[in-house]
Homo-oligomer: A and B are copies of this chain.
């Protein structure tokens, strides 16, 4: 495992731009009294949904100022990410567990971006006791933009590129 890890820059928690509070549910804890390992990916997901909602809000605000491209003209105007809007699929996901989450206090999920291509976005996550505070876990997901009708890759939607530009200068 060590060779692999040295290849990658670890998630830099201090620079993650977007933070979301996530409730720890009683049922998230397993027999060991810790939040179950699979649930961390649900926490990432909660952070991701919030992150994309923010991207969309920023991207649409930016899009109204600039000339909008033809490919995005049909997109709905609302800023809330409804599940049906999701046109990304998850290619891979990973998590490194540092400290177990043992109580029911809420946690905070930080989200930022890693490598971005014309059709993929790597997201990086941290689950902390407070924004940029004590780290329970870090992780990554690689997302690909797809055409839901055909399942084939397509360019990232304009709102996400505009939003990324606003949020992190990407």
Set B4, B37, B46: member contacting A4, Cβ < 8 A = B4
Copies in the complex: 4
Q: Which of A8, A33, A36, A142 has the most CB of B within 10 A?
A: A36
Q: Contacts A1-B115, A83-B104: A42 and B31 contacting too (C-beta < 8 A)? A: no
Give every chain B residue within 8 A of A25 (Cβ-Cβ): 42, 45-46
Quick check: A83 and B29 within 8 Å, CB to CB? yes
Q: Contacts A83-B26, A94-B95: A42 and B46 contacting too (C-beta < 8 A)? A: no
- The yes or no answer to A89 lying at the interface (CB within 8 A) is yes
Set B23, B100, B103, B105: member contacting A23, Cβ < 8 A = B23
Digitize A119-145: 1 where CB-to-B-CB distance is under 8 Å, 0 elsewhere.
010100000000000000000011000
Q: Which of A41, A45, A84, A103 has the most CB of B within 10 A?
A: A41
Known: A1-B91, A25-B45, A27-B45. 18 other contacts (CB 8 A): A1-B120, A4-B7, A4-B8, A26-B45, A27-B39, A29-B30, A29-B31, A30-B30, A31-B83, A32-B83, A37-B45, A38-B39, A38-B42, A89-B100, A91-B97, A92-B94, A92-B97, A93-B97
